Amino acid sequence: MHTLPFSALASLPAPYRLRAQRDDDDDFAAALYGSTRDDLRQMPAAPALIEQLIAMQRTMQSHGYRQTYPQAVYLVLEHGDTPIGRLIIEQQGDVLHLIDIAIVPAARGHGAGSAVLRGLQAQAAQHRLHIHLAVNKSNGAARKLYQQLGFHLRGENEVQEQLAWSAQ
């Protein structure tokens, strides 16, 4: 079994780079998670209550990831020296699970996601891995990007589509 080190993803095009997530990235990670939860921000509730709910949801997500993917690698995507996103991956056998990818709103639509995904695809092809991920059906922009990059539907439920990619 090959284990794909995150250093293999160092070949992202400038100005993008990936590095291991550190303890001092926690404020960034919290703000990034909050930026993905417009669904909760639209609730008719006091802003403080919504922020508490977002913090609880982030804690539950983190716990769930760590239980389901104990060997996951947590990475921060940078544009130059500025953190703009996060990537969580884990290899299980010949499958590279893209557990989570998130990019700050200001950096979306400028090629960061494509750069990361193409980097993952290049490494997966080199190591003969398949990539699996899940995307919310409500996330039209991400679904369109995955389709453009050759991901195909392998299953779905009411909320998410499970997608796969392989080099052949």
- Where are the chain's structural domains? 6-22+73-165
Q: Please state, as a whole number, how many other Cβ atoms lie within 10 Å of the Cβ of residue 48.
A: 8
pLDDT value of residue 41: 80
Average of per-residue pLDDT across 43-48: 89
- DSSP sequence for 50-117: HHHHHHHHHHHHHHHHHHH-TT-EEEEEEETTEEEEEEEEEEETTEEEEEEEEE-GGGTTTTHHHHHH
Average pLDDT score over the chain:
90
pLDDT value of residue 86: 95
Regarding the domain delimited by 6-22+73-165, which CATH topology (the fold level of the hierarchy) does it fall under?
Aminopeptidase (3.40.630)
Instruction: Please tell me whether the peptide bond between 15 and the residue prior to it is cis, using omega within 30 degrees of 0.
Output: yes
Where residue 1 falls among pLDDT bands split at 50, 70, 90? very low
pLDDT value of residue 90: 94
Q: Which pairs with CB-CB distance under 8 Å and at least 24 residues apart come from 102-107?
A: 102/32, 102/33, 102/35, 102/36, 103/77, 104/31, 104/32, 104/35, 105/35, 107/79
Average of per-residue pLDDT across 119-146: 93
pLDDT value of residue 124: 92
CA–CA distance, 142 with 114 (Å, rounded to integer)? 10
pLDDT value of residue 66: 93
Where residue 7 falls among pLDDT bands split at 50, 70, 90? low
Using a pLDDT cut of 90, give the percent of the chain over it.
Answer: 76
Where residue 37 falls among pLDDT bands split at 50, 70, 90? confident
Closest to 111 in 3D by CA, of 31, 2, 15: 15
